[in-house]
Structures are given as C-alpha cells and as structure tokens.
Structure 1
C-alpha cells in the first residue's frame, strides 16, 4: 500500500471505531482499573480489537503496537515501520461523560510519525495528516477540507493544556512567559488537532504520555505546518523501550 491507501485505511478504521465507542457510551458501561490504576472500559477494548484486526488484515507486514495489548503483556517490537494505536485517548473524559476523547491511529517510519488519523467521536470530526504533504479535517457530515496551523495572533497565543493538569502552576507560568491571551483546558489528542486547524498556538506537556498518545496527532500537526519537540528542541522519537515519551512542546507555526 502507498501512503494514500494507508491513511485511507486508518481513516476508515477510525471512523468505525468512533461509531463503536459512541454505541458503548449510549448503552452504558462499567469503568475498570488497569495495573497503573488508570481507567479502562469496554469502549477501549472494542475499539482496539476493531482497529488492530483491521490493520493486521490489511497490512500484515507492518507490526501493530496498541495500548491495551501492551497493558495485557503483548510485547510487539518496533520496526522500520509500525502502527501505534490508542483506541480511546482520554478515557478519563469518556468515563466522566465529557466529550474530549479521541481515537489515534499513527504510522511511524524510521522513528518518526509518517502519517496519522485522529477521530473525535463526540463531535464526529476526523483529522488526518501525511507529513510533508498536508493535513485535512472531515466533519460529521463527511465534508473534507484542508487545514493549516496558524501563526500566533497579535493579542497573544492561545495555550492548550490537559484538563487533568488544569491546576498545574507550570502551565500558568508558561502562559505568562509567552504572553498568552488565554488557556484552554481539554483532554486527549484533541489539543493537537485544534492546533493543526489554527484554533490555538501552543500545547506544553510536562506530564507523562505514551507513544500511542502522540504519534497520530503529531503527524496531523506536523502535516499542518506545526511542530512537536522535546523542551530542548530535540525531535520526538518513536520506538523507545517502554514506549514512554519525554515532556514536550507542541506548537503551530512559528
């Protein structure tokens, strides 16, 4: 498959997974706890099975690394190309009845995101990006349009931050130092997507994330003209032992 076919595959599976997640939400669900005490639901497991099975059937030569499989002890190794899947990014928000949760399907090539699709099930939006080519957004009606990150406006940048870290003084200090006009707290990979479509400018992340949290949305943001890097400016790398990310800063256009 070429890149266009791979991103079309990811978009189709993300759309199907989004429908499954919303069906679980409508029917009601129990919240369980994983080994690290983070929440997991039937929606996480159903979406992951749908995505992973679809990727492995269509691209048997590309390994798939998925969050819930990893938590269950499945040790898939990184390769020159591999998929990273977060079937429900923002499970805390989903479990709390909030709308800021996402489905992430990213393809890593030579340690960097090559392409990615992020679905926002609650709004029906799907974002896609192919690094070096461009990014797009599809609305709930299926209309697709190109998107691009923006340069910070004269009144100051909009800073996105995780809802879970809304009281973190480091975010307040970061916003002050950058002359931010406001801080917007939302969960999941939606923050990357809003930067990619030009609705904000900066997303500082101090807390822990995993590679499946960021591969797909980083691809979308970079394809839209934005950047993601460690705090010292070093590019993010994927395929690390344990799959944990360092702190990072995502931004729209400089």
Structure 2
C-alpha cells in the first residue's frame, strides 16, 4: 500500500465523519440490531460511503465492516490482507451526544494491523499511522507526531483509561495495584488513542469488544511505540484468526510495560 493511498483513506474516513455529523446535528431514529446493540442512520450512511470509497482505490482489498459482518468464515479465512472498518464506533456515545465517537478504518496484513485512521468528527481530530509508515500522527488540523508516555518508576503517578459506558469490577481490581491512579473515562476507540498520544499510560479492556472496535486505533498505537496484548497470553492481539470476531480481554500500553 502506497502512502498516497493511505492519505486517500484518511479523506474517506473524514468524509464519513461529515456524513455522521449531518445526522448528529438533528433528531434521528434509533433501531436495535439482533444483538440488541443500537443502530442509527449515521452508521449506515458512513458504512456505505466508506465501502464505496475503498472499492474505488487503486488496490482493491476485501472489506470487513461492522455493518457487513455476515461475511462467512470460509471466505474470510482466505484473506491475507483486508480493510477492517467500524463506520461509527461509539454509537452509544453518539446517541448520548457527548462527542466521543469515531470512524475507524484499519489495514490488516497477515493478522496484524499495519496502518489505521481514527476520525473523531465532533472533536475535529484525526489520528493516523502505523508500522507501515513507521510513525503515527494526530491531525488537528496539522499533523503532530505522537509517542507513548514514559512509564512511572513506581506505583504512583499512573494515568489509566477506562470506559465511560462499560466499567466493571475487573477494571476496579486492575487499578487497585496502583497508588491513587488518575482515571480518565472516554468513549469508543479514543481510549487507545489516548495511550498513543501519551496522555495515558494504560488502557485495560476487561469487557467484550469486536475486532472492528480496535483495529484502527491498535495500528495507530503501534506506530507511536505502543502495543496491544491479550491479557491472558501476553501475546500481541491478532485479527481474523478464527470465526469469532470478538477480542479477548486486552491491554493497550507502551512497549516496555510488562503485565
């Protein structure tokens, strides 16, 4: 994938963000999907725009989107390279109108997220980058290179990211190992991006997520010197490895952090 193609994908993601904002700024209907998660016309409008835009790129790859999740495992397991898309991550935050929702597009190669873009349209921020381009950036409106934070030497002075909508007893237990840590609540894939830009040290995810929730921000974090690891195995989080598209519990952190 060429760098100029990634720039085209950033433009596609930002255009999807504009579509979402058109809906966000007026009243909209809310439906329920089969799994009881919410769905709005903004999800569908962004999905349609992104899928069309990616198909028009010079190098056409398969697309796995939250809104096209019926692609069979028999087909997906043939993919060595594809786009992983969440057209509107943080639909609950979108419905609450707290601005903490994103458009996520990741380039996955052999199970690893090599590049991603995360657009937060209500905040006017775009995160992009990964190992394929060797760096990650925050665009608001100009690019600033990101780097994960240095880790505190002891158990004090840690900043840990939690979910605004999905706190759990397991999260409370995790943070108990630190001395009065600062807890930042945030919606959607912005939690991983906070670690990438050095505004937080750790993001433990101790609840369910799907692969499209994390792929783009995961790539951005890798480009900023971080990692996302399975909390059970301490191995890097991988994608499209089995029929189930749910992630295990994971930790987003700088590379030098040891569980």
What is the aligned partner in structure 2 of residue 242 from structure 1? 244
What is the aligned partner in structure 2 of residue 13 from structure 1? 12
| Matched ranges for 1:179-218 at <5 A | 179=179, 181-218=181-218
Greater shift, 234-243 or 108-117, is seen at 234-243
Cα contact 2:54–2:60 (8 A) shared by 1: no
**CA displacement, residues 18-42 of structure 1 (integer Å, 9 cap, x when unaligned):** 1111111112211110000000101
How far 1:162 moved relative to its partner? 1.1
How far 1:242 moved relative to its partner? 2.6
How far 1:178 moved relative to its partner? 3.1
Cα contact 2:197–2:224 (8 A) shared by 1: yes
Cα contact 2:108–2:115 (8 A) shared by 1: yes
Distance in 1 (alpha carbons) for counterparts of 2:185 and 2:149: 19
Distance in 2 (alpha carbons) for counterparts of 1:198 and 1:61: 34
1:160 and 2:161 are equivalent in the alignment: yes
1:117 and 2:156 are equivalent in the alignment: no
How far 1:176 moved relative to its partner? 1.7
Other structure's SS at 1:129 match: strand
Task: Decide whether aligned partners of structure 1 residues 39 and 59 sit closer, same or farther in structure 2, where only a CA change above 3 A counts.
Answer: farther
Distance in 2 (alpha carbons) for counterparts of 1:164 and 1:190: 13
**CA displacement, residues 163-193 of structure 1 (integer Å, 9 cap, x when unaligned):** 1223x12212211213352111211000011
Cα contact 1:200–1:252 (8 A) shared by 2: no
- The runs of 5 or more residues in structure 2 that have no matched partner are none
Aligned-residue CA RMSD (Å): 1.5
- The runs of 5 or more residues in structure 1 that have no matched partner are none
Greater shift, 86-95 or 244-253, is seen at 244-253
Distance in 2 (alpha carbons) for counterparts of 1:214 and 1:243: 11
Distance in 2 (alpha carbons) for counterparts of 1:11 and 1:187: 21
What is the aligned partner in structure 2 of residue 137 from structure 1? 138
Q: Size of the alignment, in residue pairs?
A: 248
Give the structure-2-normalised TM-score. Answer: 0.91
Cα contact 2:5–2:57 (8 A) shared by 1: no
Give the structure-1-normalised TM-score. Answer: 0.93
Distance in 2 (alpha carbons) for counterparts of 1:111 and 1:59: 22
Distance in 1 (alpha carbons) for counterparts of 2:173 and 2:166: 13
Cα contact 2:64–2:82 (8 A) shared by 1: yes
Cα contact 1:206–1:248 (8 A) shared by 2: yes
**CA displacement, residues 81-118 of structure 1 (integer Å, 9 cap, x when unaligned):** 10000000000110111111111000000110010000
What is the aligned partner in structure 1 of residue 57 from structure 2? 58
